[in-house]
Amino acid sequence: ETGVTQSPTHLIKTRGQQVTLRCSSQSGHNTVSWYQQALGQGPQFIFQYYREEENGRGNFPPRFSGLQFPNYSSELNVNALELDDSALYLCASSAGLDTGELFFGEGSRLTVL
Amino acid sequence: GQQLNQSPQSMFIQEGEDVSMNCTSSSIFNTWLWYKQDPGEGPVLLIALYKAGELTSNGRLTAQFGITRKDSFLNISASIPSDVGIYFCAGQRTSVSRLTFGEGTQLTVNP
pLDDT tens track, chain B, 111 positions = 557 999 999 999 999 999 999 999 999 999 999 999 999 999 999 999 999 999 999 999 999 999 999 999 999 999 999 999 999 999 998 766 789 999 999 999 999
Within an 8 Å CB–CB cutoff, is residue B65 touching chain A? no
Nearest Cα to Cα of residue A90 among B43, B6, B38 = B43
Contact residues, chain A to chain B, C-beta under 8 Å: 4, 31, 33, 35, 40-45, 48, 55-56, 58-59, 90, 92, 97-98, 100-107
B-chain residue closest to A109, CA distance = B40
CA distance B15 to chain A (A): 24
Size of interface A-B (CB pairs under 8 A): 65
DSSP code at position A25:
P
* Rounded-to-10 torsion of CA A73, A66, B38, B2: -140
